């Protein structure tokens, strides 16, 4: 939390910006574009704008743009999937303005798929009552939309892009953002000063050994916000996608290829080792049940030693305008012919409903800081995100954040001072990769699809041990001239360790099963617990938290004990 170390030198390179956007996914880029012609510095830790989770999204963008659809029906489906924790005003914004933003993207020339008559093709996915999903390039929507947006951003004069720039710490003075400390590939440590900052850093999928998220999804923005004292919400709710390709990639720490939910929307079915369909006995909607139900049903069979397969043969035989080239490609790469063989699948961490608490305009509990996309928790998704609402969320709230940022600076940032962080000089015997992979394996096994008090407490003890190891390493000799890779790897481990610990604490505290959060020792949904949970770094250290409060801390109803960190 911006602790000043008197024995550390001050950061010498200072750069001024009108507005800083951190993150180059759909939320960050759309916000930056909507801020034009105001001057924006867009920071991304990846070597190009095309990094992040957006480019990996096979599913499409949901929106009530069909003739028989409505934002109200979209909202109803979103709330049903959210298991009683959605904030109704945020859902209304998402679905009502979502239709407007989607039509806007269409009018801008977004490369959405069309039929022979030139009409936008609408698909259906699990828990949607209507065909309302638009795709681009079949099952590679994220890639096509991200590439299209990044080209526009690159050509926008008001946006200065800083690539290979790892955001280390939010700089705060008198409860107001002053900028961000960044390590840049060529410049080293740079203090980017600005009165307004937008965090659009994505999710935390790399907390888990099995994930569909790319390597950069390491909870950086969420960890920075926690250290800066911001209020966070609903960290226990992590969505696992039911159908990721089961392969050796998991043990290698690589993201698992996603087998898009759109296939099940078109009729693909799930089968056990005997070739029998099992979802018909689990839920009335069978394979189109909400993601948490499908994912747990698959997981239960896997831990019993069975294998689970997705049968897409009939779907692919119908061609469907070659809508699934990505799935076919990744299967062939894994030695599977999906036109003649069933695909082995397993659940993988996919999306974090929890995050930095924000209102419908992306405002946080820290003045001058806005958030949008997966790093934010507005309550729009509740306890379980509805399929294809994530890219929509990035566009809707990226736009809203840009609209809400004041036109004039009202706060002086000249008094902020920043010191060079400690990057320990590590020997080859200390493998950061080993520490990181151990954390990820622990999270998947103990804080994954099925949780219990005993497993969560074991995880907390392991987190505390890891935190002590990190402290011990930081107490060693500091590296004077670290490389970008060293700073990034060390920073990502710190961020994952902190957020993983807090996700575990939040999971232990919710003594029920709701949405994506399932406790074997509390298997039922408890109506009396239908409340969101908020806390800050200070709450952790003072053994308290708040339930049912708004993002800014009003309407506090109760306080409960919470485990200490470190």
Residue 405 has which token pair?
A: 């940022």
Rounded-to-integer distance, Cα 510 and Cα 534, Å: 12
Long-range pairs, 154-160, Cβ under 8 A, ≥24 = 154/49, 156/32, 156/33, 156/36, 157/37, 158/35, 158/36, 158/37, 158/38, 158/39, 158/40, 159/32, 159/33, 159/36, 159/40, 159/42, 160/17, 160/39, 160/40, 160/41, 160/42
Q: Is the peptide bond before 37 cis (omega within 30 degrees of 0)?
A: yes
Q: Which of 120, 113, 122, 116 is closest to 145 using CA atoms?
A: 113
Residue 29 has which token pair?
A: 């880029």
Could you give the residue numbers annotated as active site?
A: 291
Q: Express the helix, strand and coil content of the chain in percent, nearest 5 each.
A: 35, 20, 45
Q: Give the DSSP letter string of 38-102.
A: S-EEEE-SSSSTT-SSGGG--S-EE---STT--HHHHHHHHHHHTTT---HHHHHIIIIIHHHHH
Rounded-to-integer distance, Cα 253 and Cα 489, Å: 14
Query: What is the DSSP-derived secondary structure letter of residue 396?
Result: H
How many other CB atoms are found less than 10 A from the CB of residue 119?
Answer: 8
Rounded-to-integer distance, Cα 234 and Cα 219, Å: 14
- DSSP E strands: which ranges in 306-361? 309-311, 343-352, 355-357
Q: CB–CB of 160/41 below 8 Å?
A: yes
Rounded-to-integer distance, Cα 434 and Cα 365, Å: 36
């Amino acid at each position: 939390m911006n602790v000043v170390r008197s024995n550390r030198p001050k950061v010498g390179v200072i750069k001024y910006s009108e507005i800083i956007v951190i993150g180059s996914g759909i939320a960050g880029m759309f916000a930056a574009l909507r801020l034009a012609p105001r001057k924006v510095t867009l920071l991304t830790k990846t070597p190009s704008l095309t990094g992040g989770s957006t480019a990996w999204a096979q599913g499409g963008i949901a929106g009530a743009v069909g003739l028989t659809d409505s934002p109200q029906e979209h909202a109803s489906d979103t709330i049903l999937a959210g298991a009683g924790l959605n904030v109704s005003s945020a859902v209304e914004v998402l679905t009502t303005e979502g239709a407007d933003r989607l039509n806007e993207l269409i009018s801008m020339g977004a490369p959405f798929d069309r039929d022979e008559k030139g009409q936008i093709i609408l698909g259906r996915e699990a828990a949607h009552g209507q065909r309302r999903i638009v795709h681009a390039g079949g099952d590679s929507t994220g890639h096509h939309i991200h590439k299209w947006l990044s080209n526009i951003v690159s050509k926008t004069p008001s946006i200065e892009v800083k690539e290979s720039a790892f955001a280390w710490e939010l700089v705060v003075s008198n409860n107001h953002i002053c900028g961000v400390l960044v390590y840049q590939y060529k410049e080293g440590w740079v203090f980017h000063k600005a009165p307004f900052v937008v965090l659009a850093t994505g999710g935390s999928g790399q907390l888990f050994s099995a994930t569909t998220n790319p390597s950069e999804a390491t909870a950086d923005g969420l960890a920075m916000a926690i250290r800066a004292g911001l209020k966070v919400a609903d960290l226990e709710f992590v969505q696992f996608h039911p159908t990721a390709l089961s392969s050796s990639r998991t043990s290698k720490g690589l993201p698992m290829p996603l087998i898009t939910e759109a296939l099940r929307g078109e009729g693909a079915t799930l089968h056990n080792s005997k070739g029998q369909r099992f979802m018909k006995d689990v839920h009335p909607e069978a394979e189109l049940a909400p993601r948490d139900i499908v994912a747990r049903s698959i997981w239960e069979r896997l831990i019993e030693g069975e294998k689970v397969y997705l049968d897409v043969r009939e779907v692919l035989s119908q061609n469907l305008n070659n809508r699934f080239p990505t799935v076919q490609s990744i299967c062939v790469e894994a030695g599977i012919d999906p036109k003649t063989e069933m695909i082995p699948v397993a659940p993988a961490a996919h999306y974090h409903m929890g995050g930095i608490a924000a209102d419908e305009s992306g405002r946080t509990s820290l003045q001058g800081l806005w958030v949008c996309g997966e790093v934010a928790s507005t309550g729009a998704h509740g306890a379980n995100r509805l399929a294809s609402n994530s890219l929509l969320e990035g566009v809707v709230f990226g736009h809203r954040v840009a609209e809400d940022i004041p036109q004039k600076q009202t706060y002086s940032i000249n008094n902020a001072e920043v010191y060079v962080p400690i990057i320990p000089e590590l020997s080859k015997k200390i493998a950061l990769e080993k520490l990181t992979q151990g954390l990820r394996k622990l999270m998947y096994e103990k804080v994954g699809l099925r949780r219990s008090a005993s497993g969560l407490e074991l995880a907390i003890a392991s987190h505390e041990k890891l935190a002590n190891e990190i402290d011990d390493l930081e107490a060693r000799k500091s590296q004077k001239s670290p490389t970008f890779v060293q700073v990034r790897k060390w920073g990502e481990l710190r961020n994952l360790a902190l957020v993983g610990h807090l996700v575990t604490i939040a999971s232990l505290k919710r003594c029920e099963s709701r949405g994506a959060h399932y406790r074997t020792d509390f298997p039922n949904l408890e109506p009396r617990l239908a409340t969101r949970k908020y806390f800050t770094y200070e709450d952790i250290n003072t053994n308290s938290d708040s339930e049912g409060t708004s993002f800014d801390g009003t309407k506090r109803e109760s306080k409960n004990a919470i485990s200490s960190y470190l």
